[in-house]
Chain A
Amino acid sequence: MPETFRVIYSAFRMAMLHWIADPQWVIPNIIAPFVFTTVALTLFRDSTGPFGLYAVLGGGMMGMWGNTVYSSGFAIEFEKWQGTLEEVIVAPSKLIHVITGRAISNALFGLTNMIAILVIAVAGFRVSLGISDPLMFAASLLLTLLSVSALGLIFASAFVLSRSAQALTNGLETPLYIVSGSMFPIALLPFWIHPAAYVLGPTWGIDAIRLATSADYVSQSFWAGLSPNIAIFLDLTIMILITLAYVLIATVLFKLVEKRARITGTMVEA
């Protein structure tokens, strides 16, 4: 087990070094959120209700989400571009552990979005965002990050088999923002979309984050009528179970696709 964590950490570190070495991340992670948040907060300046909560946390979640769905899915392609995929595959460590490290790094880096939006909202638009339970906020954020990373692993496995997986992740990015409730409450969506929202771990994570930010949000959460602490506990428990299911599914998928790739030669150029 320690070897597994060492591989995950090493892959995480390597991905972080690449993020730092390549300043392109400034555009999607700082400039784009700056523009979107400025537009949103200007348009809805006079709105009432927890608008700041949705603008800031929703925008931040979109960043984390987008970074993970795009970058984790892209993790295999990145290795192919570098020409390192063969060397990574031939190493005795499991490919899924390498991609896990990359997925966590991608999700963590996506959080810079949230920080950028937070700074813009508080400093530029004087949005009040008092966090009522900082400890639960941090715990919910961390677990959501891990859940998003686990979902990224499932996308990554598709890339082992096909280059057209890029189209899959591109096409799913926006629907996932909407279905997970990052943009607005799920209650506003048609009822037949709700089951899709419930199987997404981040849906529960976003609910917990909002509960930890504002106790008043409990009336709009899945657990209206319960105390905020119990509601957060239930959200996080469900999210952990869903995340474990993602890891299990990703492990099986990686085994299957790796075997298939060894037969078809799709992972390496022969």
Chain B
Amino acid sequence: MCKVFNVTRGIMHRTKSQVVAVKDVSFEVDYGELFGVVGPNGAGKTTTIKMLTTMLLPTSGKALVLGYDCAKEVTKVRERIGIVLGGERGLYTRVSAVDNLNYFADLYGVPRNIRDKRVKELLDFMGLSERAHNRVETYSKGMKQRLHLARGLINDPDIIFLDEPTVGLDPEISIETRRMIKELVDKGKTILLTTHYMFEADELCKRVAVIRNGEIVALDTPSGLKKYVMDTSVVEVEGYGITEKEVAKFREVPDVMSVSAELGEDKQVLKLQTPKGSEIIAEVQQILKNSRIYDIKIKEPTLEDAYLRLVEG
């Protein structure tokens, strides 16, 4: 399926242009599978989710969820899916968790006798029962995220779309959220997850699609994706005073497949993917001769390294 947005700019002199958000994206997800979609910002992950959840119409192609056409059989799709968007927004913060869940249960047409029981069960499952009648604005980030998950499950969906569910959460809450996601898969739910974090995709997903500029550039199991970089090693350099100019120089080195750098004030880490392994160390030292090098490690590539290679082309 494809999605093209028409963009108009200017007031006096209006100019029209087209932005291709998603191009020829095609994949199938099995029942009970946890399927990951990864890619950089603006790659088309959220647009893909929004087409599958009926929020956007594909410009061309077809999206089927449980056999229903997302463009034409909107209500049938909506009845069977749940969606959880990341971040703190997406909840009515001036009212309680119970009010939020009851409201969405009504919008999903959950019968009254089932509604009250399900709301109680979900609050128990998410560990929110004690604060169920407090206003959501008094909740911590982690509690809000658990409430998001509870809301996404209010209609007992067959498929759950999780759009970056751990974005902005601290490590402890992220671990807890991932544990809950695993429990949902154990309960037989099918999950489509988008994430920025490769370790998350590696830990949770059976298969992962990598999207770049609106196109799927790879689709495989996490271990299958790692094979893309099996012929390489990762040289990790920890140092101080490394400049963007020096990082750019590494991109021009013929045997360096990908370069990523975190140039923080306290800590600077440079990662190079190369088939040369330790043979490249002399060249690293030469390029970084004006910077301090604290440590150089040669590592086995991870899913993140495979991802970097794929998205950098």
Contacts and interface: CB of A to CB of B under 8 A. Distances in A.
Contacts of A22: 94
Nearest to B87: A83
A88 interface: yes
A206 to B, nearest CB: 33
B195 interface: no
A4 to B, nearest CB: 10
State the majority secondary structure of interface residues on B. Answer: mixed
Given A86-B85, A90-B78, A270-B5, A21 B107 contact: no
B95 interface: yes
Interface in B191-233: none
A102 to B, nearest CB: 12
A262 B56 CA distance: 4
B55 A18 contact: no
A87 interface: yes
Contact of B95 (A14, A91, A268, A269): A14
Contact of B108 (A21, A92, A98): A92
B50 A84 contact: no
A265 interface: yes
A18 B5 contact: no
A82 B90 CA distance: 6
B83 A87 contact: yes
A270 B91 contact: no
Interface string B74-107: 0100110101010101111111000100111011
A263 B5 CA distance: 8
A86 B55 contact: yes
Nearest to B78: A92
Contacts, number: 97
Interface in A1-43: 3, 6-7, 9-11, 13-14, 17-18, 21-22
Contacts of A7: 106-107
B6 interface: yes
B109 interface: yes
A82 B46 contact: no
A18 B94 contact: yes
A128 interface: no
B54 A82 contact: no
Interface residues of A, number: 33
Q: How large is the interface on B (under 10, 10 to 19, 20 to 34, 35 or more residues)?
A: 35 or more
State the majority secondary structure of interface residues on A. Answer: helix
B104 A18 contact: no
B53 interface: yes
Contacts of A14: 92, 95, 99, 103
A3 B57 CA distance: 26
A267 interface: yes
A88 B97 CA distance: 16
B85 to A, nearest CB: 6
Interface in B39-59: 46-47, 50, 53-57
A265 B109 contact: no
Interface in A34-58: none
Given A92-B108, A93-B108, A262-B54, 4 more contacts: A87-B151, A88-B107, A91-B78, A93-B107
Among all A-B residue pairs, the 7 with the closest Cβ atoms? A83-B89, A10-B106, A91-B107, A21-B94, A92-B78, A83-B90, A262-B57
Interface of B: 3, 5-6, 21, 46-47, 50, 53-57, 75, 78-79, 81, 83, 85, 87, 89-95, 99, 102-104, 106-109, 135, 151
Interface of A: 3, 6-7, 9-11, 13-14, 17-18, 21-22, 82-84, 86-93, 98, 259, 262-265, 267-270
